[in-house]
């Protein structure tokens, strides 16, 4: 079985270091050896940044991106994931896969003999947080990373889970500030151990933060809960009152797309502390580094 990236837990701290180094060299335009490879992209949920950044990354690596429309495949007529994974492995060298269930990614990875890269599931968004932690490290410096107070505001969702797992792998200080009942699962809390603190008070969480990260309160597929969530999360909006408690040189981060006026206000997105576009730009180089790592 090939090495896949289903979860942040699939990579060791040494591998993160290798990937971060590769991101730096791809930013300096280093060449890769993926010429002639064919890489599929199967997206069962909407995407702007992840799909485009992977397509561009694959082209820049000299490989060939093939976008697969699920409804055009036999999966939509009932062919199993296991069978599809075996067939994909005959034609492709890797698959970038966005789906609603983490189980689909695990099933794909267990039947395929090519790397499967999780491009977002209900449980995780590993490629996003690799790029985000790289972005923090790039701006604040590698030696500072471990001492930063990184605060995530909002839902204990796929982004929060992947941040919690990478905090564990790299020994970072992560605080998740969320309403009671919206924490990551017990499994994630246990895996993250002492590298994750839950703070249900947004004001103490924001105090002296070096990084404030947020994501939507209602993720894709949860639209039915939107009304309830707007009410539950209202005190966790990242606005001027929250960010004034952070350090002067704090970074504001968001994986995007943002629901402006809900989890973040426009004035915070416009601050010079906001690095949301740097995050989005780094997704191309991170995608290159991840693919190069998995396929070399
Ligand atoms: N951040 C992110 O994954 O964005 P997309 O949903 O546009 O891919
Ligand atoms: N938590 C969000 C992330 C989007 C990139 C979602 O799953 O919709």
Report which ligand 2 atom has the smallest distance to the Cα of 50.
Answer: 5
Report which ligand 1 atom has the smallest distance to the Cα of 125.
Answer: 3
Q: Where are the alpha helices (DSSP H) in the chain?
A: 13-27, 49-60, 81-91, 102-111, 126-140, 158-170, 186-192, 202-206, 226-232, 240-243, 266-270, 276-295
Whether 124 lines ligand 2, by a CB cut-off of 6 Å, is no
Ligand 2 centroid to Cα of residue 104, in Å, is 17
Whether 277 lines ligand 1, by a CB cut-off of 6 Å, is no
Q: What is the pLDDT along the chain (296 residues), one digit of tens a residue?
A: 689 999 999 999 999 999 999 999 999 987 777 999 999 999 999 999 999 999 999 999 999 999 999 999 999 999 999 999 999 999 999 999 999 999 999 999 999 999 999 999 999 999 999 999 999 999 999 999 999 999 999 999 999 999 999 999 999 999 999 999 999 999 999 999 999 999 999 999 999 999 999 999 999 999 999 999 999 999 999 999 999 999 999 999 999 999 999 999 999 999 999 999 999 999 999 999 999 999 98
What are the φ and ψ backbone dihedral angles of 41, each rounded to 5 degrees? -130, 115
pLDDT the model gives residue 32 = 76
Q: pTM of the full predicted structure? A: 0.98
Select from 220, 226, 276 the residue to mutate for testing ligand 2; criterion: most ligand atoms less than 8 Å from CB. 220
The percent helix, strand, coil of the chain (3-state, each to 5) is 50, 15, 35
**Ligand 2 atom 6, closest CA:** 219
Angle (nearest 5°) at CA 104 between 196 and 217: 45
Q: Packing angle between helix 158-170 and helix 126-140, nearest 10 degrees?
A: 50
pLDDT the model gives residue 29 = 84
Tell which residue, 45, 65, 46, has the closest CA to residue 55.
65
pLDDT the model gives residue 1 = 67
């Amino acid at each position: 079985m090939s090495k896949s990236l289903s979860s942040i837990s699939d990579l060791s701290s040494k591998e993160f270091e290798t990937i971060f180094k590769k991101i730096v060299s791809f930013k300096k335009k280093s060449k890769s050896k993926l010429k002639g490879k064919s890489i599929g992209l199967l997206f069962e949920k909407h995407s702007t940044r992840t799909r485009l950044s992977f397509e561009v990354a694959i082209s820049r690596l000299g490989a060939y991106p093939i976008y697969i429309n699920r409804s055009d495949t036999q999966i939509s007529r009932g062919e199993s994931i296991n069978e599809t994974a075996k067939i994909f492995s005959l034609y492709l060298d890797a698959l970038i896969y966005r789906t609603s269930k983490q189980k689909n990614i695990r099933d794909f990875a267990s039947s395929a003999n090519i790397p499967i890269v999780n491009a977002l599931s209900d449980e995780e968004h590993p490629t996003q947080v690799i790029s985000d932690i790289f972005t923090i490290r790039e701006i604040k410096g590698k030696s500072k990373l471990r001492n930063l107070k990184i605060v995530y505001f909002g839902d204990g969702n796929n982004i929060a889970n992947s941040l919690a797992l990478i905090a564990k792998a790299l020994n970072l200080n992560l605080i998740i500030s969320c309403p009671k009942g919206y924490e990551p699962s017990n499994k994630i809390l246990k895996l993250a151990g002492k590298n994750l603190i839950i703070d249900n008070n947004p004001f103490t969480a924001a105090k002296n933060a070096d990084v404030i990260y947020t994501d939507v309160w209602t993720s894709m597929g949860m639209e039915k809960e939107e009304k309830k969530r707007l009410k539950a999360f209202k005190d966790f909006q990242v606005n001027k009152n929250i960010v004034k408690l952070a350090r002067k040189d704090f970074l504001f981060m968001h994986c995007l797309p943002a629901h402006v006026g809900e989890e973040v206000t426009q004035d915070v997105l416009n601050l010079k502390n906001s690095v949301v576009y740097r995050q989005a730009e780094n997704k191309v180089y991170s995608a290159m580094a991840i693919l190069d790592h998995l396929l070399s």
